[in-house]
Structure 1
Amino acid sequence: MTRIIRTIAIALAAASTFTLAACGGAPSESPPLEGATIGGDFTLTGKDGKPVRWSDFDGKYRIVYFGYTFCPDVCPTDLQNIAQAVKLLGEKNPELAAKVVPIFITIDPQRDTPETVGKFAASFGPTVVGLTGTPEQIADVAKKWSTYYKRGEGSSETEYLMDHLRASYLMGPKGEPIALLPSEQNGKAVAAELLKWVH
């Protein structure tokens, strides 16, 4: 079976919603995603089955990642890198790490129950938050984050893969978009980017 993992940079660049920082140059003074129309209010479901709102994270830097718990490789790798980055940040700057909350939002609500996403998120660390919702709620949140997902190949109603964008969004204390994190690389690369923007 094949999986189509497209990059968020291609999709958002095509939509002209933000400008990427120049490659190879000095870091931009302004956040790469400053002014982008990404993000927005939502109400989803947490591990205990209770509502979780975007506003519940006000005052925190939020790393938003869309994926699914049955993902065989990409999602676990990216989340591991994100969790490692927060840990690395905390080793030298615990006050900064305390301001960061990784948020995993499933794009497979059919299989990812509150308990499932809760256990999945917790396997990467105690600060990782796992969220699910109805198909309509997930579709609404994905639209606000300009992300893409679609059910892919499978052998049955419960055995299938999901095609989705591979992106980790860093959002600010007021919910504003800041940057895309290099979670496809490693924890050190993500930590370096966090250190650049988290204050």
Structure 2
Amino acid sequence: MSVSCNCIAGAMRAIRPASTLRTELHAVRTSARRTVTSSHSPSSAIVYRALPKQKTICLPRAQNSIWHGRNLGGNPRKPPGQPVRPFSNSTPRCKLKTIEQVRARNKGGPFNLTAAILFISAGVGLYFYFTYEKERVARKRIAEQTKGMGKPKVGGPFDLIDQDGQQFTHEDMQGKYALVYFGFTHCPDICPDELDKMALMIDKIKENCGNVILPIMISCDPARDTPAVLKEYLKEFHPDIIGLTGTYDNIKQTCKAYRVYFSTPPNVKPGQDYLVDHSIYFYLMDPEGDFVEAIGRNFTADQAAKVMMDHIKDWKGPLNKKEHWA
């Protein structure tokens, strides 16, 4: 009986290694299924089966992580065996080998030479536009500030005589910009210099804006500046300048309206030479007879002409060119 028990025990010991062998074989067969686990998330593994006649796709680390992030966000898992959709249609830089390929890749990008030129051009255009608008608003503010409530601070009605002996009033200045200067024909140096400047300003304005300016010289010395004297004197400077004179009271009233200071020496004997002290400004008046701006001796002819042309171009109303002055 003891011999039989020993035989059964020996048979059982012989059978155990065979079962262990079968277990190991089953484990080896099962290992044919390979699992690729991301280094970032053990729970988000992508499983690829070893299928016949199919190409196994290995994702780069960056795309693998992004794809796992999408899966974690609740999006459906990408089926295995399908190519990964790229984020850009441009050729990767690592595959560009020639200069032509690099230029072709950069040509279609958002930042290229064409875009840079358009950006710079737009910036320059906006700069000049806002600069012009700023200057225009400043000129408009100056013109508005010089106007009084109901009546202008500078300028007003007057009744004088021109170099041809004809009556000339403030109404004859309507419809054009008027440039008014106060002086006298016996002035040794200042008045001739300013009248030369006035002639240059007239030509420049007519060249750029047309016949829209009415230049006027009003005498501060009516005792010596008769219409004939004014006509002979002004033709040496410019044929468009209109000379005005009148009685002493009319000249005094006109100077007061334009805020012009002038003074003649008292007790002057007939035929005696003398000088007249007066303000030295050009007064620019708009087509409605309102004062716009005073231009002093510190302006050159080009600077003064530019100031006047800017005001003329800002004018929105009609410029009535009367046949008498055209």
State TM-score, norm by structure 2: 0.49
Q: Is 1:135 matched up with 2:248?
A: yes
Determine helix, strand or coil for the equivalent of 1:160.
coil
Paired letter, 2:263: K
Counterpart in 2 of 1:39?
A: 155
Which runs of no fewer than 5 residues in structure 1 stay unpaired? 1-25
Determine helix, strand or coil for the equivalent of 1:127.
coil
Distance (whole Å) between structure 2 residues aligned to residue 154 and residue 76 of structure 1: 27
Q: Is 1:124 matched up with 2:237?
A: yes
Checking the alignment, whether the CA contact within 8 Å between 2:222 and 2:248 is kept in structure 1 is yes
Distance (whole Å) between structure 2 residues aligned to residue 104 and residue 114 of structure 1: 12
Counterpart in 2 of 1:187?
A: 301
Q: Deviations over 1:39-71 (max 9, x none)?
A: 111110111212111111210100111110000
Counterpart in 2 of 1:87?
A: 203
Paired letter, 1:85: M
Structure 1 residues 103 and 60, CA gap change in structure 2 (3 angstroms): same
Checking the alignment, whether the CA contact within 8 Å between 2:282 and 2:295 is kept in structure 1 is yes
Between structure 1 and structure 2, the one with the greater Rg is: 2
Aligned length, in residue pairs? 171
Checking the alignment, whether the CA contact within 8 Å between 1:82 and 1:183 is kept in structure 2 is no
Determine helix, strand or coil for the equivalent of 1:49.
coil
Which runs of no fewer than 5 residues in structure 2 stay unpaired? 1-133, 314-326
Paired letter, 1:35: K
Q: Is 1:172 matched up with 2:286?
A: yes
Checking the alignment, whether the CA contact within 8 Å between 2:263 and 2:277 is kept in structure 1 is yes
Counterpart in 1 of 2:59?
A: none
Q: Is 1:108 matched up with 2:221?
A: yes
State TM-score, norm by structure 1: 0.79
Greater relative contact order: 1 or 2 (C-alpha under 8 angstroms, separation 6 or more)? 1
Distance (whole Å) between structure 1 residues aligned to residue 199 and residue 243 of structure 2: 13
Q: Alignment partner for residue 212 of structure 2, among 92, 95, 99?
A: 99
How many angstroms does 1:154 deviate by? Answer: 10
Distance (whole Å) between structure 2 residues aligned to residue 53 and residue 196 of structure 1: 27
Counterpart in 2 of 1:159?
A: 273
Checking the alignment, whether the CA contact within 8 Å between 2:280 and 2:296 is kept in structure 1 is no
Distance (whole Å) between structure 1 residues aligned to residue 305 and residue 234 of structure 2: 19
Checking the alignment, whether the CA contact within 8 Å between 2:209 and 2:309 is kept in structure 1 is no
Q: Deviations over 1:148-179 (max 9, x none)?
A: 00014998543000111111100000110000
How many angstroms does 1:88 deviate by? Answer: 1.7
Q: Alignment partner for residue 188 of structure 2, among 72, 84, 89?
A: 72
How many angstroms does 1:89 deviate by? Answer: 2.3
Structure (1 or 2) with the greater strand fraction: 1
| CA-based RMSD | 2.0
Determine helix, strand or coil for the equivalent of 2:142.
coil
Identity in percent: 31
